[in-house]
């Protein structure tokens, strides 16, 4: 929690490692190329897909781990320079249908683009609401904005293994005099930073 500029912001974040292959993912392996795929979202939440994926790429890039981060937009530019659109489309179609990747697809795409790990972010739920009240002295109208995001991520190695999975639930409450909506990107960044802290503790290969 922090207090500045006459408003209070509180954050609560819970993370849970769903699975982890020991030494399967090294957060300290220098120069690893990580590709952040488009975020998986439920119907009705499509507008948050780019925000979820972009904020994860930003959080990874600023983590100081030495990763080379390839966002979806960066990858799309590289893909346009090749003739591998069908191979990539087939890989994503298979994941959409079965929730996993073929080893041969990951190896082919990974080798062609120098990718070591593929990260699949997913947004399960997002809620926003306001709570209004009058301050103790009865003269100031205070608006408390809250946002809650439930997200997950999977890390796949280029040799075809699902090496890490994590779920994260983050809630931000922002209390201030003037209305100023909490950024969805900010909430996602807090979730991904908590996730990064988790896999930073995994022993290197």
Residue 134 has pLDDT above 60, yes or no: yes
pLDDT digit string, tens, across residues 98-107 = 999 999 999 9
Burial 47-64 (b: 16+ CB within 10 A, else e): ebbbbbbbbbbbbbbebe
Q: Nearest to residue 6, comparing CAs of 184, 182, 204, 143?
A: 143
pLDDT at 26: 61
**Alpha carbons within 13 A on the beta-carbon side of 60:** 27
The answer to whether 170 and 190 are in contact (CB under 8 A) is yes
Give the pLDDT confidence of 45-93 residue by residue, as tens digits. Answer: 888 888 999 999 998 888 877 889 999 999 999 999 999 999 999 999 9
**If we measure between CA atoms, which residue out of 129, 121, 128 comes closest to residue 189?**
121
pLDDT at 132: 67
% of the chain at pLDDT higher than 90: 41
What's the pLDDT tens digit per position in 21-48? 766 666 556 578 999 999 999 888 888 8
Mean pLDDT, all residues of the chain: 82
Is 204 a residue whose pLDDT tops 50? no
* pLDDT > 70: percent of the chain: 78
Torsion sign, CA atoms 146, 150, 155, 160: negative
Q: List pLDDT tens digits, range 142-194.
A: 677 788 889 999 999 999 999 999 998 888 877 655 556 677 888 888 888 88
Beta-strand pair 162-176/141-157: antiparallel
Contacts of 86 (CB under 8 A, 6+ apart): none
Distances in whole angstroms, Cα of residue 134 to Cα of each of 20, 77, 147, 176: 48, 51, 21, 11
The strand ranges marked E within 51-140 are 68-70, 117-134
144 neighbors 174 (Cβ within 8 angstroms): yes
- Return the pLDDT at 145: 79
pLDDT at 115 over 50: yes
Q: Where are the beta strands (DSSP E) in 21-59?
A: 33-36, 40-41
Tokens at residue 117, please?
């790990």
């Amino acid at each position: 929690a922090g207090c500045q500029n006459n408003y209070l912001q509180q954050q609560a974040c819970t993370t849970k490692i769903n699975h982890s292959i020991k030494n399967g993912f090294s957060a300290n392996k220098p120069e690893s190329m990580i590709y952040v795929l488009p975020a998986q979202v439920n119907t009705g939440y499509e507008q948050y897909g780019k925000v979820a994926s972009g904020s994860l790429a930003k959080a990874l890039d600023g983590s100081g781990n030495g990763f080379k981060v390839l966002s979806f937009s960066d990858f799309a530019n590289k893909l346009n320079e090749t003739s591998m659109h069908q191979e990539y489309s087939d890989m994503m179609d298979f994941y959409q249908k079965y929730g996993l990747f073929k080893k041969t697809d990951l190896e082919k795409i990974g080798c062609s683009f120098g990718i070591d790990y593929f990260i699949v972010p997913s947004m399960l739920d997002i809620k926003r609401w306001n709570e209004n009240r009058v301050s103790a002295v009865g003269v100031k109208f205070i608006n408390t904005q809250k946002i809650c995001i439930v997200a997950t991520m999977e890390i796949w190695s280029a040799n075809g293994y699902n090496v890490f999975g994590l779920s994260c639930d983050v809630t931000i409450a922002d209390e201030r005099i003037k209305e100023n909506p909490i950024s969805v990107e900010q909430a996602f960044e807090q979730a991904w930073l908590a996730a990064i802290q988790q896999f930073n503790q995994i022993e290197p290969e």
